[in-house]
């Protein structure tokens, strides 16, 4: 992989998703877990945001609230600057048109009995392309596959279990290419693939953002990946954001002890994005 890319500052641009005091508590009494604890955030249109934290820090719980799959116990999520209303089934479906997700295990979010071409065809139909000619649909599916370096002709009539994990994750990105949501939430999408596929998938996500201007919210425990890919990072510890801001500012000049620890844990595999020169001893 190459040098960390040029980052952009989106902080003056239009808001996409924001949170004010967003909290999620599971259980009651002494079984209570505060999974997400009064977090504030502003994600902007077109911004590549990473949420970084260790296992159990609340990343998936927060992403489920962003997706509208869980309701916050307290606090408010805003969509394009206004309180998000997903109180009815119809409003929820409307919201879901603009937001998509890819997960750690691409096979889990997939109907295993669906052939690959029918999965891609569904995306075209969902985006109002049902009436398009068969030739046009094939052209669109071919384009989506070639965006992720897959050959459509070799995939037709195949089932998901006939693909590798990396191919499957790329197919999930081909779906996103066709669906063109305004927001993509990617929860640890590269943790189950090898380093080479990981780099390819990260670059595809970046290209997708660059081509479509979608907001990407990338969830990871790996601060090295976050440094490579994001404009902005939010560092999450025990349900709280301990620091946030431009990725290079936060990661090259970390203030919180937790951020420093995450950096010192960066696996050797990321030597190409050398974080070893970061001063971890600076005063808090
Ligand atoms: N449905 C649930 N019921 C009760 N507790 C839950 C539930 N979902 C999550 N939790 C708890 O909330 C906390 C945060 O979990 P979460 O899955 O959001 O963490 P995470 O940062 O995504 O971790 P990982 O990196 O392992 O995926 C954990 O203590 C977890 O046990
Ligand atoms: Mg998780």
Domain boundaries, given as residue ranges, for the chain: 1-98+181-284, 110-180
Closest atom, ligand 1, to C-alpha of 61: 18
Distance CA 120, CA 110 (A): 12
* Protein residue whose Cα sits closest to atom 5 of ligand 1: 26
| Averaged pLDDT, 115-130 | 92
Nearest to 223 by CA among 254, 194, 200: 254
Q: What is the pLDDT of residue 2?
A: 46
Among 222, 244, 241, which residue's Cα sits nearest to residue 233?
244
pLDDT higher at 196 or 269: 196
Span 42-59, mean pLDDT?
Answer: 97
Average pLDDT value for the chain? 90
Closest CA to 111 of 197, 172, 187, 193: 172
Q: Are 263 and 275 in contact (CB under 8 A)?
A: yes
For 277, residues 6+ apart whose C-beta sits below 8 A from its C-beta are none
CB 52 within 8 A of CB 234: yes
| 22, 25, 58, best to mutate for ligand 1 pocket (most atoms within 8 Å of CB) | 58
CA 1 to CA 176: how far, in whole Å? Answer: 23
CATH topology (fold) of 1-98+181-284: Rossmann fold (3.40.50)
What is the percentage of the chain residues whose pLDDT exceeds 70?
A: 92
pTM score, whole prediction: 0.92
Say how many Å lie between the CA of residue 20 and the centre of ligand 2: 21
Rounded to the nearest whole angstrom, what is the distance from the C-alpha of residue 48 to the centroid of ligand 1? 23
What separation in Å is there between the alpha carbon of 220 and the centre of ligand 2?
8
Whether the Cβ atoms of residue 40 and residue 19 lie closer than 8 Å to each other: yes
Q: How far apart are CA 74 and CA 57, in angstroms?
A: 18
**Residues ≥6 apart with Cβ < 8 Å to 236:** 39, 51, 52, 53, 57, 58, 59, 62, 242
For the segment 71-100, the average pLDDT, to the nearest whole number, is 95
Nearest residue (by CA) to ligand 1, atom 13, is 35
Which of 23, 59, 70 has the most ligand 1 atoms within 8 A of CB, as the residue to mutate? 59
Average of per-residue pLDDT across 134-142: 96
Going from the Cα of 59 to the center of ligand 2, the distance in angstroms, rounded, reads 5
């Amino acid at each position: 992989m190459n040098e960390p890319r040029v980052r952009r500052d989106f902080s003056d641009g239009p808001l996409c998703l924001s949170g004010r005091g967003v909290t999620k508590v599971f259980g009651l009494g002494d079984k209570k877990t505060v999974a997400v604890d009064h977090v504030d955030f502003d994600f902007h249109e077109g911004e590549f945001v990473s949420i970084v934290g260790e296992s159990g820090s609340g990343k998936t719980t927060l992403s489920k609230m962003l997706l509208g799959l869980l309701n916050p116990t307290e606090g408010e999520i805003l969509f394009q600057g206004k309180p998000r209303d997903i109180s009815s089934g119809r409003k929820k479906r409307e919201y879901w048109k603009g937001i998509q997700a890819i997960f750690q295990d691409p096979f889990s979010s997939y109907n295993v009995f669906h052939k690959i071409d029918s999965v891609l065809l569904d995306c075209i139909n969902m985006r109002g392309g049902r009436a398009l000619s068969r030739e046009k649909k094939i052209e669109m599916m071919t384009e989506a596959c070639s965006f992720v370096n897959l050959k459509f002709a070799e995939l037709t009539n195949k089932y998901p279990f006939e693909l590798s994990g990396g191919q499957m994750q790329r197919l999930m990105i081909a779906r996103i290419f066709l669906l063109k949501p305004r927001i993509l939430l990617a929860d640890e999408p590269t943790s189950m693939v090898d380093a080479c596929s990981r780099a390819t998938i990260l670059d595809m996500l970046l290209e997708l953002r660059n081509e479509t201007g979608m907001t990407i919210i990338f969830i990871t425990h790996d601060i090295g990946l976050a440094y490579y890919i994001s404009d902005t990072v939010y560092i999450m510890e025990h349900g709280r954001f301990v620091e946030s801001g431009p990725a290079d500012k936060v990661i090259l000049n970390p203030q919180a002890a937790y951020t420093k620890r995450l950096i010192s844990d960066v696996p050797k595999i990321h030597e190409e994005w050398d974080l070893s020169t970061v001063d971890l001893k600076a005063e808090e």
